[in-house]
Amino acid sequence: MRVQVAIIGGGPSGLLLGQLLHNAGIEAVVLERQTREYVLTRIRAGVLERGTVNLLEQAGAADRLHAESFTHDGTVISVNNKHFNIPFHKYVNKPVTVYGQTELTRDLYDARELGGAATLFNVEDVIINDVKSDSPSIDCKIASESIHIDCDYVAGCDGFHGVSRQHIPSDVRREYEKVYPFGWLGIISETKPVHEELIYANSDRGFALCSMRTDRLSRYYVQCDANDSIDNWSDSAFWDELKQRIPEQFADTIETGPSIEKSIAPLRSFVCEPMQYGKLFLCGDAAHIVPPTGAKGLNTAASDVHYLYNAFKQRYQHNDDEALTSYSQTALKRVWKVQRFSWWMTSMLHRFPDQSEFDINIQRAELDFLRESEPAQASLAINYVGLPY
């Protein structure tokens, strides 16, 4: 097999890049380790920046999103029993779109099938060859059958635990990491969302988040110990804890019900530099991870795709390598700003085990300033709705 771009990973990054390249007439194949059904069992985030929506529209995968998503012009921040709204539209003319990543991934798979784009599933033993040469290639297996793919470029879209990043030599690769001393216990319930906007709650008992998927599907999180287990959390224990962390007016009205999904996610910040090596280009979680507090994981994967897609278009349509050569530098400039915002939101809203009374007062002052200061709210809004590409 020969393609112009071989994409490792059939999550949001790989699918979005593959679909954009396909629509631009650039030959690409997506190699996914799992089955489509397995990928679609993953429950992830649900807030999309305008830029992400634009890319999905370009990919021809935004029809259901426009029919079923919510548009939010603000969010609620609460501190124990008090809360305030941050009206994004007052500071920046860009709303966010609330639409589950699982649905977005499904839409991308459907668009690829409709357009005849090549996605290979159950791909095993991926080996990337000769990324420093002009003729890289990939060897892999499907059901024990060996497959060899010649290509011009390889896009590593295989997530944090993928193989691509490891193909950047350790003496070239620089990794930056911050592991947070807590996790998020999340549930999905077939209940009416407690509020029409998201609620980010700082409480003496820890962080909580009230989110949603549809008007009958709610997504809630509570901060938990980093090594906690869902076995320790019955549905009633979850609801009781959530109610103690959000303002009474919401706790008194929230509709509770059985969880149809329950999981614990660790929180970490991670960046790999550079995001390219020879003909290998990293995209999304393969290159960086953010704590979910700022809803930036999927959206930063999308901004990487924007840069890489346009760089490939420059290369193939105008024989111009400049954007490819500067991809890592361009992408990392925005990645680090997103890392800062995600770290800031996480630091402001969570209880840290080693927090002193001084630390807690600093956190309260930060939240007080955010409540009172329009420039502070504008800064949150500009980052939350999405920095420019």
Q: Decide if residue 31 touches ligand APR (CB under 6 A).
A: yes
Question: Is the CB of 17 or the CB of 45 nearer to ligand PHB?
Answer: 45
Please pick, from the candidates 13, 102, 119, 211, the single residue that binds ligand PHB as defined by CB under 6 A: 211
Query: Which of 72, 167, 279, 350 is the catalytic position?
Result: 72
74 forms part of the interface with ligand APR (CB under 6 A): no
Contact flag: residue 94 with ligand APR (CB under 6 A): no
Judged by beta carbon distances under 5 to 8 A according to partner kind, the member of ligand APR, ligand PHB, none in contact with residue 297 is: ligand APR
> Minimum distance between the CB of residue 158 and ligand APR, rounded to whole angstroms?
4
Q: Which does 158 bind (CB under 5 to 8 A by kind): ligand PHB, ligand APR, none?
A: ligand APR
327 is catalytic: no
Pattern of binders to ligand PHB over 279-308, x per CB under 6 A? -------------xxxx-------------
Position 47 contacts ligand PHB (CB under 6 A) = yes
∠ CA 29-160-28, nearest 5°, is 10
Pick one of 167, 219, 306, 315: the residue that binds ligand PHB (CB under 6 A).
219
Site membership for ligand APR, residue 49 (CB under 6 A): no
Q: Least distance to ligand APR from the beta carbon of 206, Å?
A: 21
The b-or-e profile of 74-89 (16+ CB within 10 A means b, else e) is bbbbbbbeebeebebe
**Which among ligand PHB, ligand APR, none contacts residue 219 (Cβ within 5 to 8 A by kind)?**
ligand PHB
List the single partner that 241 binds among ligand APR, ligand PHB, none, CB under 5 to 8 Å by kind: none
Is residue 307 annotated as a catalytic residue, yes or no? no
Among residues 338, 339, 364, the alpha carbon closest in space to that of 349 is found at 364
The distance of closest approach from Cβ of residue 115 to ligand APR in the complex, given in angstroms and rounded to an integer, is: 19
* Identity of the residue, 197 or 285, whose beta carbon is nearer to ligand APR in the bound complex: 285
Radius of gyration of the chain measured on its C-alpha atoms = 21
From 43-51, 86-94, 312-320, 328-336, give the range in contact with ligand PHB by CB under 6 A. 43-51
User: Catalytic positions, please?
Assistant: 72, 200, 292, 296, 384
Question: Where does this chain bind ligand PHB (CB under 6 A)?
Answer: 45-47, 198, 209, 211, 219, 292-295
Question: Where does this chain bind ligand APR (CB under 6 A)?
Answer: 8-14, 31-34, 39, 44-45, 101, 123, 126, 157-159, 162-163, 284-285, 297-298, 301
